[in-house]
């Protein structure tokens, strides 16, 4: 139950929370807005970013339950960086390097464990109770037969292995770890192919109702995202706060578009249709 709930939290907040937490780790592209880019440079860099996103989406489609290959991602980022550097003037490249070094120094002493603890507490006190209540109300739309099926499927999916290989602090997952995780996931999917199909069918059956409840929760999701940003902001050093505030405003303007895009991406994932995690929460 706890595992399914946390999966639902992740699905609800994928766009906004991830954006807030990763701000200081994005590298080259995050600092480009501080450079005086020409209109032509902006268009060229936008094209490079779009190309990179398309490549990432393709990598994800090839292995939706696994973290993309680390070396492939590293190579892709290196290629994108080289393309961007070629567009910048020598003065802009110098400024970019200086800004990156300054930001890295600012974040050196940030208590990341404290941030994670506060975010975890926020999930437990602010998000999970709302989702549980919404799921209990949703039971009125589910037939007795489907409720029985979900009760039977719930422990199966609660035991689903984690698809992504966690990285230790300052470490990357080894190729052996990634391969082992992938093999375990593929075995689980093969062993439970019928349950996966059954869950997919039930989710498709209630797709319209699930979509409506997601839309109703949109204001709450935006509020949670702001609260998450506030939590992170309190832990950030002043120099990072200024940069994060500017990023938050920019992302807020694109929040609706990003969430719609996230929904479309979820719809394209065959094994885990949108709303499946919500249905698996006990009503």
**Does residue 28 fall inside a structural domain?**
no
**Does residue 89 fall inside a structural domain?**
no
Strands (E), the chain: none
| pLDDT for the residue 281 | 92
What is the value of pTM for the model shown? 0.61
**Does residue 117 fall inside a structural domain?**
yes
What range does the domain containing 10 cover? 2-23+111-162+174-280
**Does residue 76 fall inside a structural domain?**
no
**Residues in Cβ contact with 34 at an 8 Å cutoff, skipping those fewer than 6 apart:** 95, 99
**Does residue 226 fall inside a structural domain?**
yes
**Does residue 96 fall inside a structural domain?**
no
Domains contained in the chain, number: 1
pLDDT tens per residue across all 283 residues of the chain: 455 444 544 444 443 334 443 444 444 455 677 788 899 999 999 999 899 888 888 877 777 656 667 778 888 889 998 999 999 999 999 988 888 888 777 777 778 888 899 999 999 999 999 999 999 999 999 999 999 999 999 999 999 987 655 554 556 677 788 788 888 988 999 999 999 999 999 999 999 999 998 899 999 999 999 999 888 888 776 655 555 555 555 555 555 544 445 444 444 444 456 789 999 998 7
* CA dist 82 → 79, 87, 106, 164 (Å): 5, 9, 25, 28
């Amino acid at each position: 139950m706890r595992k399914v709930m946390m999966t639902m939290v992740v699905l609800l907040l994928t766009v906004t929370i991830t954006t807030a937490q990763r701000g200081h780790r994005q590298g080259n592209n995050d600092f480009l807005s501080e450079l005086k880019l020409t209109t032509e440079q902006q268009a060229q860099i936008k094209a490079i970013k779009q190309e990179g996103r398309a490549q990432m989406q393709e990598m994800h489609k090839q292995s939706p339950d696994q973290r993309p290959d680390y070396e492939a991602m590293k190579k892709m980022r290196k290629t994108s960086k080289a393309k961007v550097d070629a567009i910048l003037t020598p003065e802009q490249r110098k400024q970019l390097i200086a800004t990156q070094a300054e930001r890295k120094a600012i974040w050196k002493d940030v208590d990341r464990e404290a941030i994670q603890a506060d975010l975890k507490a926020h999930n437990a006190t602010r998000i999970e109770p709302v989702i549980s209540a919404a799921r209990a109300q949703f039971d009125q739309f589910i037939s007795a037969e489907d409720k029985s099926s979900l009760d039977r499927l719930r422990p199966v999916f609660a035991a689903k292995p984690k698809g992504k290989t966690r990285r230790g602090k300052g470490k990357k997952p080894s190729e052996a770890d990634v391969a082992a995780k992938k093999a375990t996931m593929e075995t689980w999917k093969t062993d439970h192919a019928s349950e996966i199909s059954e869950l997919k069918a039930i989710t498709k059956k209630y797709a319209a109702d699930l979509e409506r409840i997601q839309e109703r929760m949109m204001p709450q999701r935006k509020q949670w995202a702001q609260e998450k940003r506030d939590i992170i902001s309190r832990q950030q050093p002043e120099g990072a706060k200024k940069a994060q505030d500017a990023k938050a405003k920019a992302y807020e303007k694109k929040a609706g578009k990003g969430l719609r895009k996230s929904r479309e991406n979820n719809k394209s994932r065959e094994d885990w249709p949108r709303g499946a995690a919500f249905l698996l929460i006990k009503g």
